[in-house]
């Protein structure tokens, strides 16, 4: 048998210009039963992908609306209550309280509440730290609940009962606000219509590992383009649960903290904005936080956010759509609160991709190029431009380095689909679950190591399914290569890398029924004996 001619020109002639078999293939009912849902999923994903381009457009179009300085200044600073909700945070509580007690604000106008729902050694550690700082003259109190009713929302609501401040600042345990945080945010409330001020998260351990680098880029996209694009356009956006300051009246008028969703912050944000309160986003005010250093912790965080946003969408979207808010505000709220539906859509695409490839192969390459490729570009490559723009805005000189991470960022997003699809389905069917905290270990530099496993989540079936799905896509890569469908190979490799990376990292960093992998000791001192 003669070998097929090699080279790019013969390849193009054979696959794109040869009309020998044109018109022989006719789609049947089975083919249509596969192709109709395949294209339906692609179109829906392309819609969510195109929305990212819209956010980039809004970001630049309304750049002049960027909020930097407050319109006025308080002659007499108002009282502020700082709430610190914690749950089993023995490794980071000392760092948190050290940062909070360094805040520059008149002590007679400041109250600090440590709202502790912990069930482990954190209780003794936190109580001892609070007693020490109180003895030094800091206005700090310790409140411990014997139950976790309402989880974080319940703790914040309980703290509100004794809070004395007209304004409420909230920080999670892994945050370290700068000393001037309150002074740079409080004056925006001289406008009586302002109900909340949100600041931008930055990352203490951004350079710790490859995973934290990718996580940082993901969060940068949210805080630079999503928040800024919405805030500058006057659209609804959300408080992120931490690193923000609330007007107490806005919380109370909106109905207070409610715990029927896992994203109580987004829920309250929409209720407050529906009441007419104005939100401000300060991109230039940074609040450092620790990123999850383990895949299991990262997946726990992402699943909680995915489930919570769908729960909030079910609860809030009907109110938004019935409200007198402008149409573009309603459309943006829809995209914001339903964005995680893209995860089950990605699962459907994963199932349909190989059979669709087989069918489309016999329909001809030209159709694949002018139909499939644009849809894939809209649904997936919008991610690249979205996150590249955020890096360019934050790091004007070094942003091209982000190009190295983009393929892995896309792969990681694909790898999260099984975990987040499970979370989304639970939200859609109304299955309730506990507030799963993201474990933090005070790992800040590459010299630090995680030597404790007590907060690691036990493994379930998800990592094994991720490995299995990755193997399925490895077969699709083989099929594509065998049929010289080289254009699809890079895209398919993203699926292979994404599923195998999340699955293997979960297995390596997780534990089986309490049996954990041997690791080096943690280099940070255990915060006991204060």
Kindly list the catalytic residues: 117, 265
Residue 95, C-beta contacts closer than 8 angstroms, at least 6 positions apart:
176, 442
Secondary structure of 98-146 in HEC code, one letter for each residue? HHHCCCCCCHHHEEEEEEECCCCCHHHHHHHHHHHHHHCCCCEEEEECC
The CA distance from 379 to 46, in Å, is 4
Residue 10, C-beta contacts closer than 8 angstroms, at least 6 positions apart:
4
Three-state DSSP class for 160? helix
Q: What are phi and psi of 3, to 5 degrees?
A: -75, 145
| Whether the Cβ atoms of residue 390 and residue 216 lie closer than 8 Å to each other | no
Q: Is the dihedral of CA 251, 282, 47, 349 positive or negative?
A: negative
Q: Sheet with 140-144: list strands edge to edge.
A: 140-144, 110-116, 80-86, 167-170, 244-247, 194-203, 278-289
Bridge-based pairing state of the strands 244-247 and 140-144: unpaired
Among the listed residues 155, 159, 89, the one whose alpha carbon sits nearest the alpha carbon of residue 124 = 89
Alpha carbon 36 to its chain's center: 31
Bridge-based pairing state of the strands 244-247 and 194-203: antiparallel
| Whether the Cβ atoms of residue 353 and residue 45 lie closer than 8 Å to each other | no
Among the listed residues 390, 384, 201, the one whose alpha carbon sits nearest the alpha carbon of residue 285 = 201
Three-state DSSP class for 347? helix
The CA distance from 515 to 513, in Å, is 6
| Whether the Cβ atoms of residue 116 and residue 122 lie closer than 8 Å to each other | yes
- Residue 283: which H helix or E strand, with range? strand 278-289
| Whether the Cβ atoms of residue 283 and residue 227 lie closer than 8 Å to each other | yes
- What ranges in 6-89 are assigned the alpha helix state H? 8-12, 29-61
The CA distance from 199 to 211, in Å, is 24
Q: What are phi and psi of 246, to 5 degrees?
A: -110, 150
Looking from the CA of 29 toward its CB, the CA atoms found within 13 Å total 0
SS3 content of the chain, % helix, strand, coil (to 5): 55, 10, 35
């Amino acid at each position: 048998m003669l070998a097929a001619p090699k080279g790019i020109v013969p390849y193009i002639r054979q696959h794109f210009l040869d009309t020998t078999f044109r018109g022989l293939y006719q789609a049947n009912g089975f083919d249509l039963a596969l192709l109709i849902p395949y294209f339906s999923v692609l179109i829906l994903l392309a819609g969510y992908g195109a929305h990212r381009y819209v956010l980039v457009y809004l970001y630049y179009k309304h750049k002049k609306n960027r909020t930097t300085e407050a319109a006025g200044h308080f002659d007499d600073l108002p009282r502020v209550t700082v709430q610190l909700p914690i749950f089993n945070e023995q490794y980071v509580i000392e760092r948190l309280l050290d940062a909070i007690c360094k805040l520059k604000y008149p002590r007679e106008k400041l109250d600090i509440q440590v709202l502790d729902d912990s069930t482990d050694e954190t209780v003794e550690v936190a109580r001892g730290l609070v007693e020490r700082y109180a003895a030094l003259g800091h206005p700090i109190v310790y409140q411990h609940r014997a139950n976790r009713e309402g989880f974080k929302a319940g703790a914040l609501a309980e703290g509100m009962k004794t809070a004395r401040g007209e304004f409420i600042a909230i920080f999670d345990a892994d945050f370290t606000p700068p000393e001037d945080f309150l002074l740079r945010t409080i004056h925006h409330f001289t406008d009586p219509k302002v109900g909340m001020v949100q600041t931008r998260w930055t990352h203490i351990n951004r350079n710790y590992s490859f995973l934290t680098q990718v996580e940082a880029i993901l969060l940068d996209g949210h805080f630079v383009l999503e928040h800024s694009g919405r805030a500058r356009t006057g659209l609804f956006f959300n408080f992120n649960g931490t690193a923000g300051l609330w007007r107490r009246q806005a919380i109370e008028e909106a109905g207070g903290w409610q715990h029927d969703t896992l994203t109580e912050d987004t829920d309250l944000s929409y209720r407050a904005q529906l009441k007419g309160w104005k939100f401000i986003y300060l991109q230039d005010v940074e609040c450092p936080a620790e990123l999850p250093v383990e895949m299991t912790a990262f997946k726990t965080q992402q699943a909680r956010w995915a489930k919570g946003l769908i729960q909030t969408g079910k609860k809030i979207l009907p109110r938004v759509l019935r409200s007198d808010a402008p149409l573009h505000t309603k459309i943006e709220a829809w995209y914001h609160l339903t964005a995680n539906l893209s995860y089950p859509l990605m699962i459907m695409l994963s199932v349909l991709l190989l059979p669709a490839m087989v069918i489309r192969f016999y329909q001809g390459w030209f159709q694949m190029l002018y139909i499939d490729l644009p849809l894939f570009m809209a649904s997936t490559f919008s991610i690249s431009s979205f996150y590249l723009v955020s890096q360019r805005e934050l790091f004007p000189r070094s942003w091209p380095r982000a190009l190295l991470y983009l393929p892995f960022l896309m792969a990681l997003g694909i790898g999260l689909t099984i975990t987040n699809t499970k979370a989304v389905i639970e939200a859609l069917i109304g299955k309730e679950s506990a507030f799963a905290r993201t474990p933090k270990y005070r790992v800040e530099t590459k010299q630090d190591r995680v030597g404790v496993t007590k907060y690691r989540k036990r493994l379930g079936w998800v990592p094994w399914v991720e490995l299995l799905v990755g193997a399925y896509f490895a077969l699709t890569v083989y099929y594509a290569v065998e049929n010289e469908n080289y254009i699809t190979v890079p895209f398919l490799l993203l699926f292979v890398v994404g599923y195998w990376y999340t699955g293997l990292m979960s297995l390596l960093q997780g534990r089986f029924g309490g049996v954990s992998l041997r690791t080096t000791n943690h280099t940070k001192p255990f915060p006991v004996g204060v």
